[in-house]
Amino acid sequence: MEPMTDPRLAVIVLAAGQGTRMKSSRAKVLHPLAGVPLIGHVLATAQELSAAHVIVVVRHEREAVATAILELMPEAIVVDQDATPGTGRAVELGVAALPSGFDGEIVVVSGDVPLLDAATLSGLIVAHRASASAATVLSAIVDDATGYGRIVRDVSGALLRIAEQKDATAEELTILEINSGTYVFAASSLRSQLPRIGSDNAQGEKYLTDMIGVLQAAGLAVDAVPAPAAWMVEGVNDRVQLAVTAARLNAMIVRGWQLAGVTVQDPATTWIDIRSSLAEDVELLPGTHIAGATSVARGARIGPQTTLVDCEVGENATISRSDATLAVIGAGASVGPFAFLRPGTELAEDGKIGTFVETKNAKIGAGSKVPHLSYIGDTTVGEGSNIGAGTITANYDGVNKHKTVVGSHVRTGSHNVFVAPVRIGDGAYSGAGTVIRKDIPAGALAINVAPQRNSLGWVAEHRAGTAAADAAGRAGDEGTD
């Protein structure tokens, strides 16, 4: 059952920044974290809050960011920040996009703070509503507050002001409670006081942090509530911080799956994306990455050194030292080691894709095997068939792709080439080294290799004086033709 929308709640997400410290052509908020863009985590939190309105303010890499936002949350409203810089101006534009009659609470969050969860924001909203404040700041207790605005409280614990680093007294600089940059505002107070924020500063920006002082100067109450942990409000500004955040989030994801009944042999080297799902009694070996929307059924054993992207894995399947993308692996099937399953691979129950095998757009039937050193592309294999080692499907003629169809209970020899389009009938066999250029009828044996001919004495005649000739001479047996 979908949660009811809160008609008195709006969320404004600030996502207009360039993120120059990422040193990337990609917008900062689009960098992936556990398989989802940074801003995707923030939007998911907003969705969990059941806000009636979600406004996202964008500017840098506008088209890419807006496209991602609407794919993740089609109901979001994307607003463009204009030439006036600053978070204060971004919020001003976000507020203007709300219905004129909206008179609830407005939560302001940053698009680069992915670990701030809905439970923490819900607590902040509850505290804000209970205090009837014009604004409530989400604060955090940190080990090193250098560079942050300090939360200055009076002897009773009430918020006096936010002291920015450059303006703080020596005593205030010792405070370890900081402004996180996340707020809840009463919509009426925010609308009335936002125009008072100026841009008379070195950067010529309208800073949202100035709003707290503006509200207090107007005689309106402002409060601050600490987050449960400082890491929840940490932003991602460079790739070092991105890696730290990714490791923290992954540790939480892995732990969650362990508590849900998944065995993870080495959490430090196991990565699980947030959209993946795992059943009880799944076992993940070291060096495994479960990525995208991969789902793994009960009893499957994955790894070591395996990556699955957007795959579906059946019960009790085993996958070892392999890579697979957009593949379906059936119950009881085995893959690897060192297999490469490309998109469109479907391995049915109890089937096998073995060592150094690459597949693409291949449907391999129940109990069928491609055990060794093969490339199988644009191919359908029936049930109970065995494809010999070193088999290649020549599926591309330089212009078009063609299909190979292998029936059920087929046995093909080693080092075969199937020149598509070609069909191999049920129960057919092929000899080793066969190049199959035309259909094989059901139950037939196909061979096209010339009979072996031994040229006696060839080494002695043509390689006299070599180690091979000496060895042959000592053997004293030239064989028979």
For residue 108, the surrounding DSSP H or E stretch is strand 105-110
Secondary structure of residue 376 in the 3-state scheme: strand
CB neighbour list of residue 398: distance below 8 Å, 6 or more residues apart: none
* 331 vs 337: CA distance, rounded Å: 18
Q: Which runs of consecutive H residues, i.e. helices, occur in 49-98?
A: 62-72, 87-96
Cα dihedral 13, 16, 19, 20 in deg (nearest 10): -170
Asked if 415 and 432 count as a contact pair (C-beta separation under 8 A), the reply is yes
Element (H, E) at 245: helix 239-259
Residue 415 annotated among the catalytic residues of the structure: no
Q: Which of 60, 372, 402, 409 is catalytic?
A: 372
CA angle 101, 104, 106 (to 5 degrees): 110
Place of tokens 């004129």: 100
DSSP tally for the chain: helices H, then strands E = 9, 37
| Residue pointed to by tokens 């942090």 | 209
Q: Please return the burial class of 1, using the count of CB atoms within 10 Å of its CB with bins 0-12, 13-18 and 19+.
A: exposed
Instruction: Say how far apart CA 10 and CA 13 lie, in whole Å.
Output: 10
Structure-token pair, residue 445: 């044996």
Give the integer Cα–Cα distance in Å for 132 and 222.
9
CB 142 within 8 A of CB 231: no
* Cα distance between residue 466 and residue 124, in whole Å: 87
Q: Which residues are catalytic?
A: 372
